[in-house]
């Protein structure tokens, strides 16, 4: 018997679900490390990429989505119980709502972040980073969420001074954690530049300021932030920390810095 007895809605994400049937068997919901077996039926208005809504029955690993639709399917799934069937709706900007009926058949509970050893969290951070890279071009905001998750996995062990004492059974080192975290910060900085949040870029890339040999990516993103904040001297000095003349993007940025710096100087000289 169909019983639409409960509606859960998240207006900020354009999500809602209406419970169709539910037979209580457990209070456990999918956690950030769970795998879920779902059954999908009656999909309507699906005009975007999805790996979860193309098959009737599929295993979903929370945190494994690489399309926008699948990220929102996971968000809906996190609000479901085992043996719950719900009619789900995902609002889109251009074509109304994607609709589908989803039944959560089984949860393989994977625990919580706070229970995981550092080598497990390192692998999770790598997964989230890779997912973010895959999504960055098409879904930059969702990619940013993945990069933040990746950083969260590693920051629980930061500073890494004593981490090697608990990595005795693995091949990982303190340097591995530091390098991965810095690469994730570079990804986060790219997202912030795209969102024009330039002051936050300075904070995220602060680690590179004292590095004797910063990467060209760090230099470019940091100098870009300085440029847009009209800190032209800082932008110039940052670019000059590397051999920028072989990097097309840095050369073009240096030209823009000089041009705008001159305009800015001339404007104040005439006042």
Confidence of residue 94 (pLDDT cuts 50, 70, 90): confident
Q: Quick one: average pLDDT of 247-258?
A: 95
Model confidence at 72: pLDDT above 70: yes
Q: Report whether pLDDT(1) > 50.
A: no
pTM: 0.86
Asked if residues 79 and 64 have their Cβ atoms less than 8 Å apart, the reply is no
Q: For residue 156, what pLDDT is reported?
A: 84
**Average pLDDT across the chain, whole number:** 90
- What tokens appear for 163 in the block? 């981490």
* DSSP letter assigned to residue 10: E
Question: Helices (DSSP H) in the chain: which residue ranges?
Answer: 68-77, 118-136, 140-155, 174-194, 198-204, 216-228, 232-239, 248-269
Banded model confidence at residue 165, pLDDT cuts 50, 70, 90? confident
Q: How sure is the predictor about 2, in pLDDT bands with cuts at 50, 70 and 90? A: very low
Q: Quick one: which of 173, 130, 170 has its CA closest to 150?
A: 130
Q: Report how far residue 40's alpha carbon sits from residue 55's, in angstroms, rounded to the nearest whole number.
A: 7
Token code pair at residue 153: 């996995």
d(Cα 115, Cα 211) in Å, to the nearest integer? 33
SS3 115: helix
pLDDT of residue 4 exceeding 80, the answer is: no
**What is the arithmetic mean of pLDDT over 138-164?**
90
């Amino acid at each position: 018997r169909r019983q639409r007895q409960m509606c859960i809605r998240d207006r900020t994400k354009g999500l809602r679900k209406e419970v169709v049937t539910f037979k209580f068997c457990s209070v456990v919901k999918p956690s950030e490390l769970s795998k879920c077996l779902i059954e999908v039926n009656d999909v309507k208005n699906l005009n975007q990429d999805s790996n979860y809504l193309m098959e009737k029955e599929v295993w979903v690993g929370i945190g494994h989505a690489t399309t926008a639709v699948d990220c929102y399917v996971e968000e809906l799934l996190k609000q479901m119980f085992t043996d719950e069937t719900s009619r789900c709706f995902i609002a889109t900007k251009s074509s109304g709502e994607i609709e589908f009926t989803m039944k959560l058949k089984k949860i393989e509970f994977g625990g919580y972040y706070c229970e995981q050893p550092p080598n497990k969290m390192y692998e999770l951070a790598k997964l989230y980073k890779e997912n973010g890279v895959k999504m960055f071009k098409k879904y930059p905001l969702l990619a940013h969420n993945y990069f933040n998750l990746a950083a969260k996995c590693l920051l629980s062990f930061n500073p890494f001074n004593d981490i090697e004492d608990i990595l005795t059974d693995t091949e990982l080192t303190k340097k591995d954690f530091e390098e991965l975290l810095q690469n994730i910060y570079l990804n986060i900085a790219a997202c912030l530049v795209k969102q024009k949040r330039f002051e936050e870029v300075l904070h995220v890339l602060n680690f590179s300021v004292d590095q004797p040999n910063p990467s060209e990516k760090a230099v470019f993103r940091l100098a870009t932030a300085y440029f847009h904040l009209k800190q032209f001297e800082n932008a110039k000095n940052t670019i000059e920390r590397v051999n920028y003349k072989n990097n097309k993007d840095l050369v073009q940025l240096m030209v823009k810095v000089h041009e705008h710096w001159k305009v800015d100087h001339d404007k104040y000289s005439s006042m």
